[in-house]
Amino acid sequence: MITCRYCCVIILLFLFCCIQTTLWACTSPVTLAGLGVYPPLTWKEKDKLRGASVTYIESILGQHGITGYTTRFAPWKRLLYQVRHGEVDILLGIRHNYEREKYLSYISPPITQAVQSVFISVNRAFEYQDWDSLRDKYGGSLNGISFGREFDQFAKENLHIEYAATIEQNFKKLDIGRIDYYLGPYMTTLIYLKLLEYEGRIISLPEHLVVLDEYIAVSKKSKCHDELYSIIENFKKMQKAGFMSSLIEEEFEYFFKTHGLTEMF
């Protein structure tokens, strides 16, 4: 009996040490990053990143004893560079493609799905049926953006797309006729059409471009990479409980109130 109790104590101590070691690996601030213009998942509020994805991952990290973290926002191209080199630990609202698997570990299932749409100027409307409708036209989108492996490959082989650093730059080019269409997330783009006062001059086409999964991913060079599997487990529990869906609704409402928007779409 004594021997058995002794063995149990040793096992418990071993497990405790393992847990402590796991937690210790992330005692220095964890860096969370995402786009500063992608509500309700991520957006810039003063000098910090806010949004449903931020609150979501904070809750998961907190359950693992990781309370020290910083947030960062930047254009996608810069964020992808930073995550490749371990300057960013966790990337929020990232889409999956095979190239990014080289330096990112995606957490499944995705946090949400997002409809991607084609936006045009009302003064230069055209009929859109499918991707082939874009072949003879000039488009625009954000630097570093991905619309999934299939569309990315199609665009590379068949389309003319100019990439810009901001949504506003794309709106300006579309408004004056330098591009024929803009590709972007449906809800987020509608929000910025209101905020930047392009509503009514730029509209979305009725047929969506594609529906994409949005993920949280961890840099393979992150000091937190070993915690990935624990994070996945908590992630799945929250997903089943509808936690993310509630956060998305709450953050939409908060964004609208704080940006002087009176109604949803």
pLDDT 10s digits, 145-177:
999 999 999 999 999 999 999 999 999 999 999
DSSP E strands in 122-265: the ranges are 138-142, 160-164, 181-185, 202-204, 210-219
C-alpha 71/C-alpha 53 separation (Å) is: 12
Contact present, 146 and 79 (Cβ < 8 Å): no
* β-strands 104-121, 202-204 pairing: antiparallel
Q: Which of 110, 102, 164 is nearest to 138 (CA)?
A: 164
Per the listing, tokens 């040490």 go with 17
How buried is residue 130: exposed, middle or buried, by Cβ count under 10 Å (0-12/13-18/19+)?
exposed
The stretch 184-209 carries a mean pLDDT of 96
According to DSSP H, which parts of 145-220 are helical?
Answer: 149-158, 167-176, 186-195
Q: Which of 35, 38, 40 is nearest to 252 (CA)?
A: 40
Provide the pLDDT confidence category of residue 187 given band limits of 50, 70 and 90. Answer: very high
What domains are there in the chain, each with its CATH number? 2-113+214-258 (3.40.190.10), 114-211 (3.40.190.10)
Residue 229 has pLDDT above 70, yes or no: yes
pLDDT 10s digits, 116-140:
999 999 999 999 999 999 999 999 9
Q: What is the largest CA-CA distance in the chain?
A: 85
Residue 7 has pLDDT above 50, yes or no: no
* β-strands 30-34, 69-73 pairing: parallel
* Least confident residue range of 4-18, 138-152, 194-208, 238-252: 4-18
Q: Structure tokens of 147? A: 């619309």
Q: Structure tokens of 177? A: 């006729």
pLDDT at 265: 55
DSSP H/E element including 61: helix 52-63
> Do you find a cis peptide bond into 40, omega within 30 degrees of 0?
yes
Q: Which of 108, 86, 111, 98 is nearest to 28 (CA)?
A: 86
